[in-house]
Structure 1
Amino acid sequence: MTMICLIRHGETDWNAQNRIQGRTDIPLNEKGKQQAIQCGKYLALNDWDVIISSPLKRARQTAELINENTNLPITIMDDFIERCFGDGEGLTFSERQERFPDGVIPGYESTETLILRIMSGIEKINEQYPKKKVLLVAHGAVISSILSHLSNGEIGSGKTRLLNACISNLQFTENKWMIQNYNQVDHLEK
């Protein structure tokens, strides 16, 4: 059975300021780098086969810092780039509400498009890495959407705020993906 460990990237300055990043390419801050290192130490306690990362800098940096402890091949997959928030990028949630009170944000990637893209990526992983254990470093909206889709809306988007450097585990068994756990942060120092 294929296993995927979803890892949200470490903290950035925009995360700390509650700014919407989307596809704006923001690097990790010092706290985010430490979170990624802690993730790597924790993940090194188990055997993994590959790290897959979003192409954005914050995810790639997280993957590289994790890999200091896991020593795995890293593959970049565009399928897992963060959702495009269009003109909402760079704004805080309250600024976004004020600027777009009707919720219509120019350039915003639709939920349908997002789900098609990321679930296509999940299926590519299952085809390319059958029966492997995969670390997938991605973003809050991407991971939330995966969790929401697989749980029929019980968790994820709109229900669960994923923390930076959290871990969520999926397992492909009996021809379907099952969520083993989500938003795990026990590996991070308080």
Structure 2
Amino acid sequence: MSTITRICFARHGETDWNAERRMQGHIDTPLNSHGQAQAQRLAQSLQHAGHTFNHLYSSDLQRAADTAKQVSHALGLSITIDPIFRERHVGVLQGLRLDDAPHAVPEVWQAHLARDIQHDLGGGESIQAFHERAQRALAMLVAAHQGQTILVVSHGGTLDMMYRIASKQALDQARVAVVPNTSLNWIAYDGKTWSVERWADTDHLSTLALDNVDL
């Protein structure tokens, strides 16, 4: 039995709010037609690639869960829905377009840009709290699936946090990892440390991938 636990994180398909550059956070937005096509392409590519996953998890937000349903049907896996894989709650920034936020809530926006890890963005989730939630999620997966390969459908901000944990990137540093819609992002745990195996794989999408951050 392998001692390495591998987790493939897939970001959900595109929503209208992604296309509008509008911050979603915990707001429950559906996939648009483009996102549905992305989810179908993701499911088909995973099926054709012959990846063997021991379990499928998803965030409970509709855009992730609906993406996971396509994968579930293609791979014959049941889905465990868990809110621990949700996007970061970005407080008063939720619902605002990136172009509008600096004018609507300038102080909160500056804290967001500065990556103040203790700031909750006006009733949301601080980076520190978000990091702790991501750590709990990874610990849960390792405890339940040691030595297995797991697929998780989640969100751009959540995947960025997983990248930070696996690559040991500081929480207050600017983002370096891109997370396109329905990209595949692999990390691994050898029993002691996490590592990034492959990131932002969109070979299955061609021109269908839209790269958004913190949305």
Give deviations 1:37-83, integer Å, cap 9, x for gaps.
Answer: 11111112211111100010000000001112111121012211110
Residue 9 of structure 2: which of 6, 9, 26 is its match? 6
Q: Does 1:166 align with 2:183?
A: yes
Residue 134 of structure 1: which of 150, 161, 171 is its match? 150
CA distance in 1, matches of 2:184, 2:132: 22
* Aligned pairs (5 A) from 1:46-125: 46-102=51-107, 103-104=110-111, 105-125=121-141
Question: How far did 1:157 drift?
Answer: 5.9
- My pick for the range that moved more, 170-179 or 118-127, is 170-179
Look up the match of 1:144.
160
CA contact (8 A) 2:167 2:194 kept: no
Q: Could you tell me which runs of 5 or more consecutive residues in structure 2 were left unpaired when the two chains were aligned.
A: 112-120, 208-215
CA distance in 2, matches of 1:67, 1:94: 36
Paired letter, 1:52: Y
- Alignment length (residue pairs): 190
Question: How far did 1:89 drift?
Answer: 0.7
Identity %: 29
Question: How far did 1:189 drift?
Answer: 3.3
CA distance in 2, matches of 1:157, 1:107: 22
CA distance in 2, matches of 1:117, 1:89: 19
Q: Does 1:28 align with 2:31?
A: yes
CA distance in 1, matches of 2:39, 2:170: 28
* Aligned pairs (5 A) from 1:33-44: 33-44=36-47
Question: In angstroms, what is the RMSD of aligned CA positions?
Answer: 1.7
Q: Could you tell me which runs of 5 or more consecutive residues in structure 1 were left unpaired when the two chains were aligned.
A: none
